Chains A and B, each alone.
Chain A
């Protein structure tokens, strides 16, 4: 009883993340790739993403403070960030990255800084939400990860 409740909660949590635009189809596709050999793939790759993106954000933070500003470098960091976000299906985050890229193109330092604050914020929100989701999934157990992935 308890178990099917957890399953329902997990499915509904994921549906919300999708409906609210935090995640897109790519995330579902990644869940479909989980199997007996790799039952925790999505959690692993998301964890890799947050490690990698934290590093990139530290680089961007540093680059925003440097004088003179190297917009090419800033853009290049952000392109990496955007790429990874897109690969895990982090839709909202990807949009914020695109905004930053536009500000870089304009060589608009204030715009970049503001945009970066938004990226940081979205990054933090997504991290919390996915942590909650994976925590729930761990309670659900490996057996049903495959079935939980269908919408």
Chain B
């Protein structure tokens, strides 16, 4: 039985509609609340309004503003910096991964994202 403490509100950011559907379903099947948006700008707009987002999971490569840019904006904001940010990417580039982690990303997931990756992540989040 999931208590309200167990449920997170996750903001999923991905310009690819298929990936957005997949990450949303993965999170929802673990009973989390999901808001899915298709750009970093929309994510920032939403974060500006809603304060109950517990975690952000974002694609790296997006047109206009990348996931890395979003990460920097979140970590650079006093209102948002405590929110863990997870980056997803289909490319395994160690220097990119390191840069994200150094910038404060919680984790880096390789696509295709597996349900097991996400549940490991969420367990860790909820143990804080």
Q: Which residues of A contact B (CB under 8 A)?
A: 26, 29-30, 32-33, 35, 37-38, 41, 44-45, 48-49, 52, 79-80, 82-84, 86-89
Within 8 A of A (CB), among B11-30: 16-19, 21-22, 25-26, 28-29
Given the known inter-chain contacts A48-B18, A52-B17, A88-B18, please indicate yes or no for A83 contacting B25, CB distance below 8 A: no
Q: How far is the CB of A101 from chain B (nearest CB, A)?
A: 11
Contact assessment for A45 and B28 in the assembled complex, using a CB-CB cutoff below 8 Å: no
Among B33-41, B65-73, B111-119, the stretch that binds chain A is: B111-119
Q: Which residues of B70-128 are within 8 A (CB) of A?
A: 90, 111-115
Total number of A-B contacts with CB less than 8 angstroms?
54
Question: Smallest CB–CB gap between A35 and chain B, Å?
Answer: 6
> Is B25 a contact of A26 with CB atoms below 8 Å?
no
Chain B residues in the interface with A (C-beta under 8 A): 16-19, 21-22, 25-26, 28-29, 61, 90, 111-115
Q: Given A86-B111, A86-B112, A33–B21 Cβ distance below 8 Å?
A: no
Which secondary structure dominates chain A's binding surface? Answer: helix
A–B complex contacts, Cβ < 8 Å, 22 sampled: A26-B112, A29-B114, A33-B25, A33-B29, A38-B25, A44-B21, A45-B18, A45-B22, A45-B25, A48-B18, A49-B18, A52-B16, A52-B17, A52-B18, A79-B90, A82-B90, A83-B111, A87-B18, A87-B22, A87-B112, A87-B113, A88-B18
CB distance from B67 to the nearest CB of A (A): 14
Report chain B residues within 8 Å CB of A41. 25
Contacts of A29 in B (CB 8 A): 114-115
Least CB distance, A13 to chain B, in whole angstroms: 22
Chain B's nearest CB lies how many Å from the CB of A24? 9
Q: Which of A33, A44, A52, A89 contacts B26 (CB 8 A)?
A: A33
